[in-house]
Structure formats: C-alpha cells, structure tokens
Chain A
C-alpha cells in the first residue's frame, strides 16, 4: 500500500510540471514568456549563467550558515544562562521581550546605515532573526523539562551545576527541534532579503539584478535554486536533530 502513496506524490509532481509546461511558451502559450518563463527557458538560463551559479550559491550559503550558526549559538547560550540565573534573566528579559516581536526585515534600512552594505549588515540581520526565535524557544524548552527528573537527580546527589548539565540540557533539546527548523527556513528568507538590500554576489542579488534587466528566466531559475537549497537544509537539520533526540518517545 505504501507504494501507491509514493506514486501518488510522483503523479502530483508530474501534473504540476505538465501544467507549467502547458501554459507557458513551449506549450499552449497561455501566459507570455516574459511573465512566466517555460521549463526550456529556465534550462537555457542554466547554461547561460552556469559559470556564476556556483559562486552565487557559495556566497549565499556562507552568509546563511554563519548567520544561522551565530544566531542559534547565541540564542541557546543566552536562553540557558537566563534560565540558570535569575539575575541574568532579569537583566536580559526586557531586551529579549522587546526584540522578539520586531519583524527584523523592517530593520534593514537601519542595518544599512549602521553597517553599510557589506557582509556585517547581512550577518547581523540573519543572526538577529534566528536569535530572536531560538532564545525564546530555549527558555520555553527549559521550562518544559519535567520537574520529576530534577527531583530524582537531586536525590541521587546531583548539585545545581550537575543538574543543569545532565538534566536540563539534554531534556530541553526536543523542545528546540521545531524552532530550529523554523529558524532554518527564516534564514533563507533573510539571506535573500539581505542580498536584495545590496550585494555583489549571491542568489538574492542575482534575482534583484535580473529584475532590473527584465530577465525573468534567471529570476525563476534562482527562485528554484534557493528553494532546493532550503529543502536540502531542512532535511539536514532534521537529520541532525533526529540523531540528537533519538532517545525520545516521539519516534
């Protein structure tokens, strides 16, 4: 029975592809080439710009990985520190609470003014977006670690420090799996937005440049590239988090 379901998904993909082919230039030409490029045009675009695609991907991914890594490490670290110490919590809570609801994209003009259009501004944007999600989720995940584990550890002789290392940290990991995937998806949005605001390379920059030159096949090609990258990244994050939570009931 499992077989049939897989074929069903394949069928959906084939239908969508056929519709794309059918309504665009090489099929029944229901929409103009310029408005929505055909599969053949996109393929030709690959050949045309094949020399710059790898470098664009490299730039985009480097920004994304560094920003995502900084944002998650800072977010998890501050979240853990805030749940460990009431003093740290009181100091940082107002900051966290006030940046949490800010749509980071709205900060782009300021980021350009403060950091210019170089790499720093882009990293700050991605880091900030990821950080805001992760710090709040970490605090929540720590709160959700069942108290009974803490009590059991105490009666087995663990002090606060040992409880933190051996109970709180492993116990909170399942709680940030979901948020890490959300943050991964968000960093793709943010890296493209960051490259829109000014860059010399990158998938987002290429889209912006192609828009100025009205080369819509290049736009669509780059949209497809970033989508595939986001899909792969999500798989990778899921693979890693599945490994880290391999002990949990969820599976």
Chain B
C-alpha cells in the first residue's frame, strides 16, 4: 500500500512569449505523503511558485502530470486550498463568515459545520473578533483568518505561497509557531513555498531545495527536529546545521 497522496511525474512547464521559450520547471519527480509538511525552498525565479500554481490547478503542465489520489489535476478545486502572500481575506465578510466561506457557499451550514468553524476560530484565537470586519484587524490577525479559512475547508492538500512574506519578523515567527501547532493538532498535507531558509527548516519535516533556470529539484533534506517545536529550536545545533547546509548549497547554484 502506498501512502503518497500526490505524485508528480516528469513534470515540465514551459512558458513561451514572443520568440522566447522559458523552461520554468524541468523533470520534477516528487511524491508527497499524506499529512506531510513539505517546504519548497529556492531563490526567486526557481519556479517554486510555478510548481504551486500547477498543484493548485491554475496552470497546466507542458509535459508530465500531477496526480492527486490517482486523479490527474485539471483545474482549481476544493480539495486544494491556497493561502497566498497577499491578503485574500474577503473584506465584505466578517471574520466568522470568511472562515465559514467554503461551507456557506454549499448552502449546507448546519450545526456540524458551525462547530467546525467555531473550533477553527478558537484555534487561531479570534473568538473575540468573530463579528469584526477584516479592516478592523491587524495584518497578522488577517493572516490567521486566511489560515483558518483554508484549514476549515478541510482540503486534501493545503498550498501556501509565502503566506508570511509580507509580515514583520515578530508576527512572522509567531505565526510560524502557530502554524506548526495547528498542523500537529490537525494534521494536513501542506506544501509551503518560501525563500526564507530558516522558515523552511523550522516548519518543514521535509525541505526541498530547488535550483533556478530551469527549476529542478536539487536536494531533499529531512531536518529531523522534534515534532512539537517553538522558536527556541532555532538555537539548537541540529537546526543550525540544516540551515547552514542549505545556505551553502544555494550559494553553489
């Protein structure tokens, strides 16, 4: 029995613009297991966002395929929620309605769904802001709404495209800790894109380092840190060695 939920097979993605062909991704082969937390790490232009967009179904492969539970990905779907870097919280819905969005559009919002949504509101610590408009929240709180909304849709795969990229460092570290905590409490398959080495090592159980132009998988590292972790792990030598190893590798690109 195989436990991989995603299989990426010989994935090639090319973009062509006026007499120029850019190979964004070349020969990507990767299996992702159920409830694995994977970070994809690389410099700008290494195709990591292209890979995420292909997983989300926003773009189609030029060659090769991506299978989600043995079905080829054809387009965006509710089995794959995305958290973007930019603020995507719907400003015209209250915090609660944002987090309940994926359930409310299906017009089945019964007691079971309500409880689920409430659990996520509590998990991100926004129980006092249920009825608030997003504009009344700080950037970090809005990101929490965004995360809770994606988690509450209970997708097979959670895709995160540098979700904390626009936040200040304090908020960013706090949310990294929280995200790791959610994941331990409510295991999900997460693919997290980042260009921040420390973020990748802190969050991921598996870090995939990519090389730029054309984007290829260069290195897969399993940091082997304890399951429950907080920022104090950053002074751990295991953490530091992993960061150093990746930094060195990127320098050689």
Residue positions of A touching B, CB distance < 8 A: 148-149, 151-158, 162, 166-167, 170-171, 173, 246-249
Give the contacting residue for B92; candidates A148, A157, A162, A247; CB below 8 A.
A247
Q: Which of B19-27, B37-45, B98-106, B225-233 contacts A (4 or more CB under 8 A)?
A: B98-106
A173-B77 Cα distance, complex, nearest whole Å: 27
A156 touches B84 (CB 8 A): no
Chain A residues within an 8 Å CB radius of B91: 247-249
A162-B102 Cα distance, complex, nearest whole Å: 11
Q: How far is the CB of B135 from chain A (nearest CB, A)?
A: 5
Chain B residues within an 8 Å CB radius of A167: 90
A155 touches B92 (CB 8 A): no
Residue positions of B touching A, CB distance < 8 A: 56, 58, 76-78, 80-82, 84, 86-88, 90-93, 101-102, 105-106, 133-135, 149-150, 153, 155, 159
A153-B105 Cα distance, complex, nearest whole Å: 10
Which of B80, B91, B102, B106 has the most chain A CB within a 10 Å cutoff? B91
Number of A-B contacts (CB under 8 A): 65
A122-B189 Cα distance, complex, nearest whole Å: 63
In the complex, given contacts A149-B88, A247-B135, A248-B135, what are 15 additional A-B residue pairs having Cβ atoms less than 8 angstroms apart?
A: A148-B84, A151-B58, A151-B84, A152-B82, A152-B84, A152-B90, A156-B81, A157-B77, A157-B78, A157-B105, A157-B153, A166-B90, A167-B90, A170-B90, A248-B91
Chain B residues within an 8 Å CB radius of A148: 84, 86-88
B135 touches A151 (CB 8 A): no
Q: How far is the CB of B141 from chain A (nearest CB, A)?
A: 15
**Dominant secondary structure at the A interface:** helix
Chain B residues within an 8 Å CB radius of A154: 76
A158-B155 Cα distance, complex, nearest whole Å: 13
Q: How far is the CB of A241 from chain B (nearest CB, A)?
A: 14
Chain A residues within an 8 Å CB radius of B58: 151
Give the contacting residue for B101; candidates A153, A171, A249; CB below 8 A.
A153
A157-B155 Cα distance, complex, nearest whole Å: 10
Q: How far is the CB of B79 from chain A (nearest CB, A)?
A: 8
Chain B residues within an 8 Å CB radius of A152: 82, 84, 88, 90
B90 touches A149 (CB 8 A): yes
A155-B159 Cα distance, complex, nearest whole Å: 10
B76 touches A166 (CB 8 A): no
Whether A155 touches B76, Cβ cut-off 8 Å, given contacts A148-B86, A247-B91, A247-B135, is: yes
A170-B134 Cα distance, complex, nearest whole Å: 14
Give the contacting residue for A155; candidates B78, B86, B90, B93; CB below 8 A.
B78
